[in-house]
Amino acid sequence: SQQGEEDPQALSIQEGENATMNCSYKTSINNLQWYRQNSGRGLVHLILIRSNEREKHSGRLRVTLDTSKKSSSLLITASRAADTASYFCATAGSARQLTFGSGTQLTVLP
C-alpha cells in the first residue's frame, strides 16, 4: 500500500511560474524524500528532509515538512520546460525502506 499521496495528481503551468506539490502520509517517519521521474526513465533523488527539520532548500527547490499534519510540500520556483516530469514523495520509517506516493505529473508549458 502507498503511504504518501500527492496532490494534485496533475499540474500544468507556464514557464517562469512556481509549481507547488503536496504530499500527505499516514504513519510516523524518519525522513521524507522527493524524487523526479522523466518519461521512460528511472527516478532521480531531489531532496531529503528529516523528521526534525521543517524546511530545506536546494537550488530552485524548497521543501517543507509538517509532522503534526503529516504533510510535506515541494515548491519549484521559476519553472522551466525541462522541469516537466512526475514528482514523487517517498517516506522512510524506522525500517528505512521507502514507500512512494502516487506522484504528481507536472507539465511546464513554454
Partner 1 sequence: DAGVIQSPRHEVTEMGQEVTLRCKPISGHNSLFWYRQTMMRGLELLIYFNNNVPIDDSGMPEDRFSAKMPNASFSTLKIQPSEPRDSAVYFCASSLSVSTDTQYFGPGTRLTVL
Closest to partner 1 by CB, 20 or 51: 51
Alpha helices in the chain (DSSP H): none
Query: Would you count residue 63 as binding partner 1 (CB under 8 A)?
Result: no
Query: Would you count residue 45 as binding partner 1 (CB under 8 A)?
Result: yes
What residues numbered 87-106 form the site for partner 1, per CB under 8 A?
88, 92, 95-103
Pairing of strands 71-76, 61-66: antiparallel
Closest to partner 1 by CB, 42 or 110: 42
Provide the strand spans (E) within 8-103: 10-14, 19-24, 31-37, 43-50, 55-58, 61-66, 71-76, 85-92, 98-100
* Binding pattern for the stretch 4-23 against partner 1, x by CB under 8 A and - elsewhere: --------------------
